[in-house]
Amino acid sequence: MNSPDWLIQGGWCLWLLIALSIVSFSVCIYKFISFIGLRLYKKNEYQFWLDAIPRIENMTHTDYTNKRISPQHPATRLMKFCAVSLASSLDKQALENKLSFQAEQEIDKLKSGMRILEVISALAPLIGLLGTVLGMIDSFQSLQQAGSKVDPAMLSGGISQALITTAAGLIVAIPTTAAWHYLDSLTTRQHASIEHLLTEYLSLPMIKAKFL
C-alpha cells in the first residue's frame, strides 16, 4: 500500500491523529529540553538550598548565581521569594500561605503542557477506534449496495483500510502515554522536594522567633 493510498483511506480521523502526533511530539521535546535546562534530573539544587537555608537571611547575589545551581530552577526561585518575603510585615499564617502559594505556582509551571499529553494519550485510541467504526460502516454499506454481486475482497479490503486508524491511534497514544507518565513522575518528585524545602525553611529558628 503506497503512502498516498493509506493517507486517503484513513480519512479525516487519520489526519487528525497526524496533527495530534505533531502536537504531542512538540510538547514532549519542549518539556524534555525545559527540564534538562532546569537540571531537574539532578539533586544539586535541593541539596544546595537545604544546606543554605540556615544562612538564607545573609545570602548575597553571588550565592544565588552559584555554578552549582540553576537560576531558573524552581528551588532557586522559591528561595529567592522566601528571602524577600522574610522582610515583609505579614503575620505567620499569611506568610505561610504566601510561600505555599508560591511553591504551588512553581509546580504549576513545571506541569504546564502536560495536560495536553494526558488528553492526547486518552483521545488518540478513541479517534482511531472511531475511524475503524466509520470504515466498517462504509464497507457494509458497499456490500449492501452490491446486492447479490458481493465480492468478499470488498469486505476484507474495507476492513484493512478501517484498521489503519486503529493502528495510527495506538502509535500516537503509546509513546505519548509513556512520555506523560515519565514527566509526571519527575514533576511529582520535584513537588515533594519543594514541599520538603519549604517545610525546612518555615521551621528555621529565625522564622519562629519573628512571630514570638
Burial of 206 (0-12, 13-18, 19+ CB in 10 A): exposed
- Residue-wise pLDDT for 117-164, tens only, equals 999 999 999 998 888 888 777 776 766 665 666 566 666 656 766 788
| DSSP code at position 204 | -
Per cent of the chain over pLDDT 70 is 71
- Residue-wise pLDDT for 193-212, tens only, equals 888 888 888 887 777 666 65
11: left (phi over 0), alpha (psi -120 to 50) or beta: left
Domain locations in the chain as residue ranges = 10-37+65-210
- Residue-wise pLDDT for 42-96, tens only, equals 666 777 778 777 777 666 555 666 666 677 788 888 888 887 777 777 677 887 8
- Residue-wise pLDDT for 99-126, tens only, equals 889 889 988 888 888 999 999 999 999 9
For 30-56, give one letter per residue: b (16+ CB within 10 A) or e.
ebeebbeebebeeeebbebbbeebeeb
pTM of the model: 0.76
> In this structure, what C-alpha cell is assigned to residue 137?
460502516
Q: Output helix, strand, coil percentages for the chain, rounded to the nearest 5.
A: 85, 0, 15
Q: What's the whole-number mean pLDDT along residues 5-13?
A: 68
